[in-house]
């Protein structure tokens, strides 16, 4: 049933919009670049008037004024479906909390499981001639929230790029109130520089790619290194069906490496659900018909991903055990990011005809000045398994690339020890035998 809006499209002040919030409400800030700024600051100024206001969000691209106003988390409760660095700081301070999700299922959560939102406040491009407010580079699940929200407020943002694709906006007839934005430029995410380790991992992955492959590429130095290598290779005719659009993919697009002509669905189009990067990225997507932003239940669900042949999913993890479990979102009980779309793309790529998924990690990390292995006999206590051992396909470090599909526990352990840092291989092998992961005399 369509939302009932009494007087759609009323323009009110930011202060009047913030005054609509009452104690005990569930407020939704939307996701990524669609999180409001002017409203956030106005709500923060009401701190002393409110209590037990719960705010749901995802990937904050800026610090949130409302939480800075309440450093003890006594009045505002912050919940995120995926942490950015800003959200992580709130969690470290004990005032930010995680909502476990597969990102591609979130629209369904809002329609079936999450109680209706009292107020959705979402930042959009100004209304166009047809009466639509464009979500910009954050299609995601905003349409699903609007279906069930009791009230919808749009914060207009003159600097928001206008993007193409299905469901990329909300009509004024579904909007209760419109408020002015603060006029600030969009937040940018600098491209992570690639290290020598990143480049070594990228070379191993690039050797597995072919003309016409359909790419899903995550964020970070390793995926950026893959894009850089492909940009200077002879590879061509690539397709893209991904969750997040990054500067690295735009680099490939500008170099003529992406055509999408060999895709089975959305031929000729770069398909994504949201974008986060530099102004270079935002300029590239503005009114660009080659790039389509879809709701995340289109980009991320495995049964849709698999419809393209030769999907190559490239993602990062922070720790993997000798059985092939990848922990990509926490450091013990400290939450650092989220499940995101990793597991769904691992499954979608595997189900794709000729598809492959790659889980990338540096072999070591530094802790208090000492190197530690990211390949371990058992995961750190409290670590969350993001991708189960049964789903793991290729694992890549700077020391090699191995395929775990169809391998016994003993074979998996031996293969993963072989791509661990040499400094830790002997210890890992000893522990594998002691914990009966490898039977005596098997090798």
pLDDT tens digits, one per residue of 418-430: 999 999 999 999 9
Q: Which two tokens stand for residue 366?
A: 């530094």
pLDDT tens digits, one per residue of 206-253: 999 999 999 999 887 888 889 999 999 999 999 999 999 999 999 999
Taking the CB of residue 63, how many other CB atoms lie within 10 A of it?
A: 16
Q: Give me the domains of the chain, ranges plus CATH numbers.
A: 10-180 (3.40.1080.10), 196-434 (3.40.1080.20)
Radius of gyration, CA atoms only, the chain: 23
Torsion on CA atoms 262, 265, 266, 272, rounded to nearest 10: -100
Give the integer Cα–Cα distance in Å for 81 and 87. 10
Residues classed as catalytic? 243
Q: Which two tokens stand for residue 408?
A: 């016994």
Q: How confident is the model at residue 408 (pLDDT cuts 50, 70, 90)?
A: very high
The arithmetic mean of pLDDT across residues 256-279, rounded, is 97
Q: Which two tokens stand for residue 359?
A: 């889980």
Per-residue model confidence (pLDDT) at position 2: 62
pLDDT tens digits, one per residue of 82-119: 999 999 999 999 999 999 999 999 999 999 999 889 99
Residue 214 DSSP SS3: strand
In sequence order, the β-bridge partners of residue 376 are 321
The arithmetic mean of pLDDT across residues 277-296, rounded, is 98
End-to-end CA distance of the chain: 63
Residues near 324 by Cβ (< 8 Å), separated by ≥ 6? 389, 392, 395, 404, 412, 416
Identify whether the C-beta of residue 390 lies closer than 8 Å to the C-beta of residue 334. no
- Altogether, the residues listed in the chain come to a count of 443
List Cα–Cα distances, 44 to 41, 96, 319, 340, 405, in angstroms.
5, 16, 38, 29, 51
The arithmetic mean of pLDDT across residues 337-346, rounded, is 97
Residue 242 DSSP SS3: coil
pLDDT tens digits, one per residue of 310-331: 999 999 999 999 999 999 999 9
């Amino acid at each position: 049933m369509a939302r009932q809006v009494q007087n759609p499209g009323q323009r009110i002040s930011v202060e009047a919009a913030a005054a609509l919030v009452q104690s005990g409400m569930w407020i939704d800030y939307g996701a990524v670049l669609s999180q409001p700024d002017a409203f956030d600051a106005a709500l923060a100024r009401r701190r002393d008037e409110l209590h037990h206001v719960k705010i749901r969000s995802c990937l904050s691209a800026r610090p949130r004024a409302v939480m800075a106003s309440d450093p003890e988390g006594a009045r505002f409760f912050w919940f995120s479906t995926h942490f950015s660095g800003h959200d992580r700081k709130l969690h470290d301070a004990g005032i930010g909390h995680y909502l476990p999700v597969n990102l591609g299922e979130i629209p369904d959560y809002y329609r079936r499981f999450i109680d209706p939102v009292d107020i959705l406040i979402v930042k959009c491009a100004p209304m166009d001639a047809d009466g639509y407010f464009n979500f910009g580079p954050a299609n995601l699940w905003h349409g699903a929230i609007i279906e069930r929200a009791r009230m919808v407020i749009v914060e207009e943002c003159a600097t928001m790029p206008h993007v193409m694709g299905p469901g990329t906006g909300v009509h004024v007839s579904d909007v209760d109130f419109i408020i002015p934005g603060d006029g600030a430029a969009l937040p940018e995410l600098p491209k992570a520089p690639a290290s020598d380790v990143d480049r070594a991992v990228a070379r191993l992955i690039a050797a597995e790619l072919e003309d016409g492959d359909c790419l899903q590429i995550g964020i970070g130095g390793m995926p950026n290194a893959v894009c850089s290598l492909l940009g200077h290779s002879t590879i061509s005719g690539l397709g893209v069906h991904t969750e997040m659009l990054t500067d690295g993919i735009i680099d490939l697009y500008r170099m003529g490496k992406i055509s999408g002509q060999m895709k089975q669905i959305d031929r000729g189009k770069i398909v994504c659900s949201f974008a986060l990067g530099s102004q270079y990225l935002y300029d590239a997507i503005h009114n660009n018909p080659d790039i389509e932003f879809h709701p995340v239940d289109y980009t991320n669900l495995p049964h849709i991903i698999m419809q393209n042949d030769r999907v190559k999913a490239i993602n990062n993890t922070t720790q993997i055990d000798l059985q092939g479990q990848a922990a990509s979102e926490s450091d013990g009980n400290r939450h650092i990011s989220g499940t995101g779309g990793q597991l769904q793309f691992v499954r979608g790529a595997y189900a794709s005809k000729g598809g492959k998924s790659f889980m990338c990690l540096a072999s070591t990390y530094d802790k208090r000045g000492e190197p530690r292995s990211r390949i371990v006999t058992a995961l750190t206590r409290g670590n969350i398994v993001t991708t189960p051992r049964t789903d793991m396909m290729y694992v890549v470090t700077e020391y090699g690339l191995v395929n775990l599909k169809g391998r016994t526990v003993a074979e998996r352990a031996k293969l993963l020890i072989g791509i661990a840092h040499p400094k830790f291989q002997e210890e890992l092998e000893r522990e594998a035998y002691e914990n009966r992961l490898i039977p005596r005399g098997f090798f």
